Amino acid sequence: MKNSKQMLKVAVIFTLAFIIALSSTLTSTIAAVTQPEADTPLKKENLQKLSVKSVEKLSNGVKFDLGTNEAYIRIFADDLVKVSVVKKGEKEFTSRGIAKTEWKTPKFSSKNSKDSYTLSTKELNVTIKKAPFGIKFTDKKGNVINEDYMGAGSASGYEDGKPYVFKKTDKNENFYGFGEQSGLELNKRGKSIGNWNTDAYSYTKDTKYLYTSIPFFMGLKNEKAYGIFFDNTYRSYFEMASESDDYYYYYANGGTLTYYFMYGPEVSNVLDRYTEITGKMEMPAEWTLGLHQSKWGYTADEITNVAQTYRDKKIPLDTMHFDIDYMDGYRVFTWNEEYKNALKKLKSMPGFKAIAINDPAVKQDENYSIYQQGSQNDFWAKNADGTPFIGPVWPGDSAFPDFSKQEVRDWWAKNHDVLFNEGIDGIWNDMNEPAVFLDGGIYNHTMPLDNYFGYNDKKIVHTEYHNLYGHDEAEATYDSSKMHKPNDRPFVLTRDMYAGTQRYAALWTGDNVSNWEHLQMSIPMNMNAGLSGVSFVGNDIGGFAARPDKELFARWIQVGSFLPFARIHYDSDAKATVKQGQEPWAFGPEVEKISKKYIEMRYQLLPYLYNAFQDASETGKPVQQPLVYHFQEDENTYNISDQYMFGDNMMLAPVVNAGQTSREVYLPEGETWVDFNTKAEFKGGQTITVQAPLETMPIFVKKNSIIPTREIQQYTGQNKLTNLTLDTYVTDKTDYTFYEDDAKSLDYEKGKFNETKFTVERKNNEIRFDQKVLKKNYKSNLKQYTLKLNNVKQPRAVQAANNKYKAVKSLEAVNTTKRSYFYDAKMKTLYVSVPVEEKKTVKVK
Active site residues: 430, 433, 511
Answer yes or no: are the C-beta atoms of 74 and 110 closer than 8 Å.
Answer: no
Amino acid in the structure at residue 694: L
Q: How far is CA 64 from CA 11, 161, 193, in A?
A: 60, 20, 31
Give 263-325 as a DSSP string: E-SSHHHHHHHHHHHH-PPPPPPGGGGS-EEEETT--HHHHHHHHHHHHHTT----EEEE-GG
Closest CA to 61 of 71, 47, 52, 51: 71
CA Rg value for the chain? 28
Amino acid in the structure at residue 210: L
Backbone angles phi, psi at 678, to 5 degrees: -110, -15
Rounded to a whole number, what is the distance in angstroms from the first to the last CA of the chain?
A: 74
Query: DSSP E strands: which ranges in 388-495?
Result: 390-393, 396-399, 426-429, 452-455, 458-461, 492-494
Strands 247-252, 319-322: parallel, antiparallel or unpaired by DSSP?
unpaired
Closest CA to 360 of 322, 319, 411: 411
Q: How far is CA 281 from CA 290, 404, 491, 507, in A?
A: 18, 22, 11, 12
Answer yes or no: are the C-beta atoms of 808 and 823 closer than 8 Å.
Answer: no
- Residue 474's CB is within 10 A of a number of other CB atoms, namely 28
The C-alpha atoms of residue 647 and residue 613 are separated, in whole angstroms, by 9
Answer yes or no: are the C-beta atoms of 525 and 514 closer than 8 Å.
Answer: no
Q: Which are the contacts of 715, defined by CB distance < 8 A and separation ≥ 6? A: 287, 290, 316, 317, 318, 350, 351, 352
242-260 burial: b if 16+ Cβ within 10 Å, else e? eeeeebbbbbbbbbbbbbb
Q: How far is CA 145 from CA 11, 223, 696, in A?
A: 58, 11, 43
* 3-state DSSP assignment of residue 199: coil
CA angle 734, 735, 737 (to 5 degrees): 160
The C-alpha atoms of residue 100 and residue 564 are separated, in whole angstroms, by 26
- Residue 811's CB is within 10 A of a number of other CB atoms, namely 14
Cis peptide preceding 434, ω within 30 of 0: yes
Backbone angles phi, psi at 797, to 5 degrees: -165, 150
Amino acid in the structure at residue 191: K
Amino acid in the structure at residue 395: P
Amino acid in the structure at residue 112: N
CA angle 548, 550, 552 (to 5 degrees): 55
Strands 125-129, 134-138: parallel, antiparallel or unpaired by DSSP?
antiparallel
Bridge partners, residue 786, by sequence: 725, 833
**H or E segment to which residue 735 belongs:** strand 733-740
* 3-state DSSP assignment of residue 192: strand
The C-alpha atoms of residue 787 and residue 706 are separated, in whole angstroms, by 9
Q: Where are the alpha helices (DSSP H) in 713-772?
A: none
Q: How far is CA 790 from CA 531, 667, 680, 743, 757, in A?
A: 32, 19, 10, 29, 20
